Amino acid sequence: MLLFRALTMQVHENNLFWIQENFPELHHRVVNKTHFFEGLFCFCGSFSEELKEYTFFLGGVMVGEVCDAYKVRIEIYSDKLPVIYETGGRIPFSTDYHKYGNGSVCAWGVLDWPESVAEVFDLALQFFFDQSYFQRHQKWPRGEYYHGELGLLQNYYQATLRGIRSEELCMKLLRQSLEAKYINSILVKRKIKGHHPCICGSTDHFRRCHPDVFKGMWLLQKHFQAKGV
Ligand SMILES: [Zn+2]
């Protein structure tokens, strides 16, 4: 179980070697200790609906259900979180597509950011695969990613799947908004029940309407109360 996640990242010689081998069309340069990887991000991959798992084929191996390339710039800082930009204009500037106004993309949640260069590239692969998959099928392979409090609770659940426990940070972020105060009161006072109306405002059962959000909230309450806070 990881209780502390690092915000710093180092680019090692073996990372550079791996990137060069697998992404030969990315150009690498270093400016003031920041590593820039710019150019074409080419990949082939598949997603198993059954196992909810990706398989990627890199370095020009043309197998898998999606083979695609995106123009990108990946910036890896030594003292803050990395940023991935889609610079080719293929992905619309819209939170629905998880791309912001400055061209940066949202390839991970606020609770489970990458801690290594390998993880950055892995999350970038999943992100760009998802975009190509969406263009083809009009749906996201792993389902929709929500925004705001719903997104945060969903991210909490997904982070626990990767062994990341972040109840303190999650609660801190939830408390920053007014609606979150409402969520907070539920967390502390009442047991979270799957057949209660969903917190998104629909009349459907919470468990059925937003299952990942339900699991996230349920786990957050459990983890938080176990700490005796
Ligand atoms: Zn809902």
Residue 208 Cα to ligand 1 midpoint, Å, equals 8
Residue 193 Cα to ligand 1 midpoint, Å, equals 13
pLDDT at residue number 3: 53
- Give the integer Cα–Cα distance in Å for 119 and 141: 19
pTM: 0.88
State which residues of the chain have pLDDT below 50: 1-2
- For tokens 């259900």, name the residue: 65
Residue 147 Cα to ligand 1 midpoint, Å, equals 12
Residue 171 Cα to ligand 1 midpoint, Å, equals 20
Average pLDDT, the chain: 90
pLDDT at residue number 82: 96
Task: Take residue 92 and report the two structure tokens written for it.
Answer: 């619309």
From the CB of residue 61, how many other CB atoms can be counted at a distance below 10 Å? 12
Residue 183 Cα to ligand 1 midpoint, Å, equals 14
Q: What is the DSSP string of 102-141?
A: TSBB--S-SSS---SHHHHHHHHHHHHHHHHHHHHHSS-T
SS3 string of 169-196? HHHHHHHCCHHHHHHHHHHHHCCCCCCC
Residue 119 Cα to ligand 1 midpoint, Å, equals 31
- Assign 222 to helix, strand or coil: helix
Give 87-134 pLDDT, tens digit per residue: 999 999 988 899 999 999 999 999 999 999 999 999 999 999 999 999
